Amino acid sequence: MIECSPVKGAFAPLIPYVKPYKTKLALVFALVVGVVVVDLIQPWLVKEVIDRYVTVSSPDSSGIFRMSALYLGLVLLSFGLTWYQDMVLQKTGLSIVRAIRIDLFRHIQQLALRYFDQNTPGRIITNVVSDTEALNNLFTQFLANSLRGIFTLVLIMFFMLRLNIAIALYCFLLLPLVLFMAVFFQKKIRAINSEVRHRLGLLIGFLAENLSGMAIVQIFHQEQKQQKRFDERNKSLLQSTILENQWFLLFFNITELLGDLAIAALIWYGGNGVIEGTLSFGVLYAFVGYIRRFFQPINTISQQMNPLQSAIVASDRISRTFMEIPEIKEVDGARAPAVVAGSIKLDGVSLAYRLGYPVLHDINLLIDAGEQVGFVGATGAGKSSIMNLVTRFYDVTSGAVVIDGKDIRQWPFEELRRTVGIVQQDVTLFSGTIMENIRFFQSDISEERVREACRLVGAEPFILRQPQGYNTMLSERATTLSAGERQLLSFARVLIFDPKILILDEATACLDSATERVLQNAIQRVSVGRTLLVIAHRLSTVQQMDRICVLREGRIVERGTHDELLLQRGDYWKLHQSGILLDEAA
């Protein structure tokens, strides 16, 4: 395996996916050859007609008809083969990419939260969507076009050599020239094109921003100034598109001119050959037919370097993702405790997201079942990290998180998730109806139960105000719902999934008082009968908690009730004095 080329190495992870389609791909190769031969045989046929039936002493039209009929058969066959070949290749490519996509997505799902925190969503999405699409292009564009291009080129050369070796070799002189031109111009045009895209991006960005801020532009009466700025961007785009077009036309026309000059040269050398009787006219004709066909495949092949390159990069990235190992796994023989009540013990817990940079230091905390605990502290004090541990989004670096007497690493995933519920500040909604979002697409949960939950948390009034009530589709990022309304939906979710332990990340956004009141009531409702851990952002919520933990730099520095903490005159008292608990909203 030492002679493995880098290209082959890059595609190594694809091999298991491609293997089942070996025969299909071989079939496609064979079909492409057949199709190309049928296409390229045309000048040869004309040559045969001229040399065998026309420029002989007794012209024979029946031979011509036979030949035409035969070729008609071939052409019809080729029509079918072209279609079939195209279908098979594309279907194969799509099936391979489909399998990769599903496996990749499944694999990413299994990865621990660390992966999602370390990689931006954009990168993961690119991996799943664009990288796999680049692989798809490898089959549908690169393979299809370069196969065809290479076979065409090789077969033209073969036909030419069969016709006349000397002239063929002269013609081959054209190859490096055409290839050089194609590579040079495509490189140039690609560079200009990326400049065009860049400038277009600037224009779109400017436009998008100014359209959304048009009121500001008008209020500050700056229409003239912004129009001038738009004009600058518009003009610079104009210039680069004109430049791009000029290079493109240059390439196109030089190729055309080169074609004409090649024919003139052929006529000169070949014509003299015919005059001297060293060359039949038919052969000269065939060369004229073939020489112009040189250009297309070379252009096509040189255009395929781009999809190939992106496919190599994509394949590399995909295989890297596949190599990520899910670090949080269910141990064999994991069993939930017989009775799940909801008590939590943090036993000397430390956590470091990056080795050597701990964010939690030796936290010890006992929370009884049904207790309500608020966590306060500045951004980065470790509030969210504690929640990450209780949900087992991360595993502790040392110590243990124990729920109902059992280390959560010994719990089965499903049980743990049924026990620990979470309501985040930024409520996740998926595209689907309100109903589906509340029951999380689990149709075994009855609609009546969903309605019941919504009534309890006070979400029903606003749901019924939506155009289709519970069946209203939530569009992307659910912009149609306000932050408060989304929170209410997630409270309804909690009632349905009924976790013994509920983690609540309180909303920081300044809601208007009416919504605020409904939300507070909903929190009261959902917390009944549960152990409640709240990341608190406002004093009004914390005051009612059984206990408040004040975190600073990964340690619990104060704990107690609201009144106790005020008397301590420590961090909590200071927070309270400043009148704010709210971090400046990001």
Which residues in the 394-453 window bind another protein by CB under 8 A?
413-414, 417-418, 420-422, 424, 428-431, 440-442
Q: Does 326 participate in binding another protein (rule CB under 8 A)? A: no
Describe the strand order of the beta sheet including 406-407 as a list of residue ranges.
Answer: 357-367, 344-354, 398-403, 406-407
Stretch that binds another protein, among 234-242, 300-308, 316-324, 396-404 (CB under 8 A): 234-242
Report the nearest approach of another protein to the CB of residue 334 (Å): 14
Contact 274, 280 (CB under 8 A): yes
Alpha-carbon dihedral 34, 36, 39, 40, rounded to 10 degrees: -110
Report the nearest approach of another protein to the CB of residue 90 (Å): 4
* Measured distance CA(29)–CA(491) in Å, rounded: 59
How many residues sit in the footprint of another protein (CB under 8 A)? 146
Residues 13-72 that bind another protein (CB under 8 A): 39, 42, 45-46, 49-50, 53-55, 59-61, 64-65, 67-69, 71-72
Stretch that binds another protein, among 102-110, 303-311, 352-360, 446-454 (CB under 8 A): 102-110
Contact 571, 541 (CB under 8 A): no
403-412: b (≥16 Cβ within 10 Å) or e:
bbebebbbbe
426-465: b (≥16 Cβ within 10 Å) or e:
ebebeeebbbbbbbeeeeebeeeebbebbebbbbbebbee
Stretch that binds another protein, among 181-189, 329-337, 349-357, 538-546 (CB under 8 A): 538-546
What ranges make up the beta strands (E) of 181-329? none
Complete DSSP assignment for 404-461 = TTEEGGGS-HHHHHHHEEEE-SS----SEEHHHHHTTT-TTS-HHHHHHHHHHHT-HH
Residues 134-173 that bind another protein (CB under 8 A): none
Interaction mask 238-277, another protein, x per CB under 8 A: x--xx--xx--x---x--xx--xx-xxx-xx--xx-xx--
Q: Does 385 participate in binding another protein (rule CB under 8 A)? A: no
Report the nearest approach of another protein to the CB of residue 234 (Å): 5
Stretch that binds another protein, among 14-22, 181-189, 453-461, 534-542 (CB under 8 A): 534-542
Q: Supply angle C-alpha 262, 144, 75, rounded to 5.
A: 70
Residue closer to another protein by CB (options 292, 555) is 292
Report the nearest approach of another protein to the CB of residue 135 (Å): 13
Residues 184-213 that bind another protein (CB under 8 A): 200, 203-205, 207-213
* Measured distance CA(298)–CA(104) in Å, rounded: 36
Stretch that binds another protein, among 80-88, 167-175, 300-308, 348-356 (CB under 8 A): 80-88
Report the nearest approach of another protein to the CB of residue 5 (Å): 30
Dig out the tokens for 182 from the structure.
């194609």
* Measured distance CA(266)–CA(353) in Å, rounded: 72
Site for another protein (CB under 8 A): which residue of 86, 330, 347, 452?
86
Residue closer to another protein by CB (options 272, 524) is 272
List of residues 6+ apart from 309 with CB closer than 8 A: none
